[in-house]
A and B are shown apart, each in its own frame.
Chain A
């Protein structure tokens, strides 16, 4: 069977999304590691975030061109329209990664701070990020659904951490409390966007709109 012209375009789109997912994942990993290990990576993460913004624009341009040229329908339409939304989610990952990197840069040395909760939460969030990308690449609807359960764990940790910080506020360096508070907030948002990607995967595969 002759390959459809649209398939060439979809292939290019998939390659762009693959590149974006790798960069987004790297941004978040580097930013979290930098906070836990007290390193300054602001400039590096910023440059990667800029790269992602440019790739998002390319994804949008290509998606619109495919729609204009080929008027895709059914699963093709769902995939292409979802790529526009998921590309934005990838950009948000990088943005939150940059915000995490900025915390270390603004607050300075945070060696004295207890980051164990951050480490626990970061592990789950990294897994969610990886799972959302795998779900998208493999159109794995079961993996997409698992993200909701993982997000519940992140939300629980977030609330526990907030409560713990409030209770310990008199005994702990205020810099530690503020820095950790900001970081868990950014991690919680990264988790939310991973869930959004899972919802788009469900839409691509089944046509079901969850949001």
Chain B
């Protein structure tokens, strides 16, 4: 019997029959090759001898919102950090491939370019200790932007639905903004350098419902122009805003696995995996 352990819990009710819980990738619909922008092949991440995630094969469709859900500690953040090589900064050993537009991002030394193309927004808003204007301009200057910086800053702030609220105080310190505004500033900062993919690690977890709703509306609007991968603990949020859902879960060895992936409607109406069914129904997790 596979004993499914949840992070921080251990009980007899967590014991699952092996044939009920299938960790093979049969629950994953990957029939969309031509629309794929980001792909992982046999992706595994090891910290020392311990695997955080193993054999993750995922294809992220272009111009869509893909939500990654799962209980705490299942490797969601580890997975998306692979997509822009943030794990390089954490002494992690990455095995397998991550392909952006068919090119393995681990085959290049130009990590800065990777992180320009694959931007990231974190759970806690983290504006730089600078003015609102400089926060957005910083990335442009670092990447050698040759055009009109002010125009690009305005464009990015408009894209992040923040311009009207800050246009008269661009020189104010970013910390003077509310939490929701700071998060949209971080999104504008990422957008300014024209990424192709935006990774968002629980972007609304620290925000109030109104600020969260604004971020969700923004995400839905942005997918016309780029691809978004979002981690969320809020299953209803995933149901509201995502086009595709990936479900991750830890196995008996506390290693994160991708157990199901597919269109949001299919995963939430008729999940193929019993693990997914139980997780999204609140029977555990």
Contacts and interface: CB of A to CB of B under 8 A. Distances in A.
Interface of A: 1, 4, 6, 71-78, 206-207
Nearest to B272: A207
A63 to B, nearest CB: 16
Contact of B270 (A1, A6, A72, A207): A207
B270 A74 contact: yes
Contacts of A71: 235-236, 239
B282 A74 contact: no
Question: What 4 pairs between A and B have smallest CB-CB spacing?
Answer: A207-B270, A73-B268, A73-B280, A1-B13
Contacts of B217: none
Contacts of B164: none
Contacts of A4: 281-283
Interface string B248-285: 00000000000000000000111100001100111110
A76 B280 CA distance: 10
A4 B235 CA distance: 16
B282 A77 contact: no
B239 A74 contact: no
A75 B276 CA distance: 11
A207 B269 contact: yes
Interface of B: 13, 235-236, 239, 268-271, 276-277, 280-284
27 contacts: A1-B13, A1-B284, A4-B281, A4-B283, A6-B281, A6-B282, A71-B235, A71-B236, A71-B239, A72-B281, A73-B235, A73-B239, A73-B268, A73-B269, A73-B280, A73-B281, A74-B268, A74-B270, A74-B271, A74-B277, A74-B280, A75-B281, A77-B269, A78-B269, A206-B270, A207-B269, A207-B270
A75 B236 contact: no
Nearest to B282: A4
Nearest to B236: A71
A177 to B, nearest CB: 48
A206 B13 CA distance: 25
A75 B279 CA distance: 12
Contacts of B271: 74
A122 to B, nearest CB: 37
Contacts of B281: 4, 6, 72-76
A154 B5 CA distance: 53
A76 B236 CA distance: 15
A71 B239 CA distance: 10
Nearest to A203: B270
Contacts of A206: 270
A28 to B, nearest CB: 32
Nearest to A74: B277
Contacts of B268: 73-74, 77
Contacts of B13: 1
A76 B282 CA distance: 11
Contacts of B269: 73-74, 77-78, 207
Residue in B236, B270, B271, B276 with the greatest tally of chain A CB atoms within 10 Å: B270
Nearest to B12: A1
Given A71-B235, A73-B268, 16 more contacts: A1-B13, A1-B284, A4-B282, A4-B283, A6-B282, A72-B281, A73-B239, A73-B280, A74-B271, A74-B276, A74-B281, A75-B281, A76-B281, A77-B269, A207-B269, A207-B270
Contacts of A73: 235, 239, 268-269, 280-281
B282 to A, nearest CB: 6
A51 B14 CA distance: 44
A207 B13 CA distance: 26
A72 B268 CA distance: 9
B270 A78 contact: yes
